[in-house]
């Protein structure tokens, strides 16, 4: 049986509004989270991801009332992340209506929380978000790639892409799977907001390194980019924001395009 590929709109939240940036900066407003969530649910999104992108950096908890409002208007699986660093943070998010919790900075700071979340809520509830960026200082890297006559490795970043960690993304992905993550949300900082397409090399590398599902994120500017990442990697889901927020495409139109091009999707 062929598993259907998932198409996932993402709501990046700052100050209670949906925003979109370029490589994690130059943030601009993209709309109301509740109305956008309802729209995407009705259009046939397979899931919805809600990320409070400044929560970790501002050392605060996620906006639970907003999570509750979004949960009330959708009937699809709902992943919520931002500022998760304790089991209580995760419990609050799940009690607010989320189906899964995404953790990034909190997991890097305290990797054992991944295991604790898995034991408490089940592996299927634990999504580890990984933000990665090319680093051309190869003296620091473990898994070195070559491209355009320059060598590089992929480094994990935290606090909304603002702080480097020194962690190699392949090693970290393998570690989070071993610790209990049920899924990885992999974002290319280099491609984020560029609309130049997903980072196929990064995505394929991580998909091949782990056995849990991986969601590709960062760079989707048109349906062809989603087709490309599904054709060129074994990724199970593709996340996008800009193409949906600004009425470039509707979710169902993108899924119809994928189906026409032999990608198994649920319509």
Q: Which residues are catalytic?
A: 12, 131
The tokens describing 41, both together, are 């649910």
Q: 226, 219, 231, 234: which is closest to 257 by C-alpha?
A: 226
Strands 145-147 and 100-103, bridge-based pairing = unpaired
Three-state DSSP state, 251: helix
Three-state DSSP state, 137: coil
Cα(12)–Cα(255) distance, rounded to whole angstroms?
22
Contact 131, 120 (CB under 8 A): no
Q: 183, 154, 260, 209: which is closest to 8 by C-alpha?
A: 183
DSSP 16: T
């Amino acid at each position: 049986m062929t598993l259907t590929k998932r198409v996932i709109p993402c709501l990046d939240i700052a100050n209670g509004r949906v925003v979109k940036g370029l490589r994690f900066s130059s943030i601009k407003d993209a709309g109301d989270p509740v109305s956008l969530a309802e729209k995407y649910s009705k259009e046939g999104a397979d899931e919805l991801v809600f990320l409070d992108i400044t929560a970790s950096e501002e050392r605060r908890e996620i906006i639970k009332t907003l999570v509750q409002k979004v949960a009330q208007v959708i009937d699809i699986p709902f992943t919520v992340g931002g500022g998760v660093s304790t089991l209580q943070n995760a419990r609050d998010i799940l009690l607010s209506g989320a189906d899964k919790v995404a953790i990034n900075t909190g997991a890097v700071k305290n990797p054992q929380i991944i295991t604790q979340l898995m034991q408490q809520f089940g592996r299927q509830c634990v999504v580890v978000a990984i933000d990665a960026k090319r680093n051309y200082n190869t003296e620091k890297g473990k898994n070195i790639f070559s491209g355009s006559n320059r060598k590089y490795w992929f480094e994990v970043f935290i606090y909304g892409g603002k702080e480097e960690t020194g962690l190699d993304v392949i090693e970290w992905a393998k570690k989070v799977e071993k610790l209990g993550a049920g899924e990885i949300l992999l974002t290319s900082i280099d491609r984020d907001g560029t609309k130049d397409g997903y980072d196929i090399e990064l995505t394929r590398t991580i998909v091949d390194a782990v056995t849990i599902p991986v969601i590709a994120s960062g760079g989707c500017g048109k349906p062809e980019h989603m087709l490309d990442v599904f054709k060129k990697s074994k990724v199970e889901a593709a996340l996008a924001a800009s193409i949906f927020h600004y009425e470039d495409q509707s979710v169902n139109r993108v899924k119809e395009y994928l189906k026409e091009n032999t990608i198994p999707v649920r319509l």
